Amino acid sequence: MRLRGVLPRLTAPNACWSCGAPVPTAEPFCPTCKSVQPPGQADHFSRLGFARTYDLDPKLIERRYFELQRKLHPDRFATRTPKERQLSQAQATSLNEAYETLMDPLRRAVYLLRLSGIEVGGDGKTVADPALLMEAMEMREALAEARSSSEVDQVVARARSEADAVRSTLSTHFSAGDLKSARTDTLRLTYLDKLIEDARARRLNVA
């Protein structure tokens, strides 16, 4: 039988595991007892204290990441209870994943689309869109035909220039809420990044 006026702990979605007090979403510590909390289901933006937007300043991402990392690093909990050590490790893992995702423009775009229920698909090798496919085939052919490091560098320079342009248009599409165009640009950035990566290996096989 439940006693009148006594509420069971952990019934609220954001109840502190230690004292039962409410904990705001994405807050790593209980405001009441200061115990480290489970990482929960907060998205990467909330975890680092940002709104869901494509336009993020890398310096601000790093600053927020290192602020939280200093507070949540498992070494700070070496003398605490096993549960707190486990939670600090889970928090550090989630924090690292959030940082790596938001710092990379492509991963950030893919993640933003996923939060809106849109999967990008593609792996940089297969492209379904006819226009993107033709462009990808043309650049792949140019890379395959490169016979010197300077020719490879020309392909890379073009890919990097176009990738910079895509990141700019991605910002415009996300700001305007045009997720269809954002998905197309994200696919394009996927194969451009993959092409640049493959060019590094290609450079080792040419004079």
Read off the pLDDT of residues 147-160 as tens digits, 9 standing for 90 and up. 899 999 999 999 99
Q: Parse the chain into domains and list their residue ranges.
A: 9-103, 130-203
The percentage of residues in the chain with a pLDDT greater than 70, rounded to a whole number, is: 90
Output the CATH code of domain 130-203: 1.20.1280.20
What is the maximum span of the chain, computed from C-alpha positions, in angstroms?
A: 82
What confidence tier does 113 reach under pLDDT thresholds 50, 70, 90? very high
In the predicted structure, residue 92 carries a pLDDT above the cut 80:
yes
In the predicted structure, residue 126 carries a pLDDT above the cut 80:
no
Mutual orientation of helices 82-103 and 105-115 as an angle, nearest 10°?
A: 110
Q: What is the pTM of this model?
A: 0.83
Class of domain 9-103: mainly alpha
Could you tell me which residues come within 8 angstroms of residue 170 by beta carbon, excluding any fewer than 6 positions away? 54, 105, 109, 182, 185, 186, 189
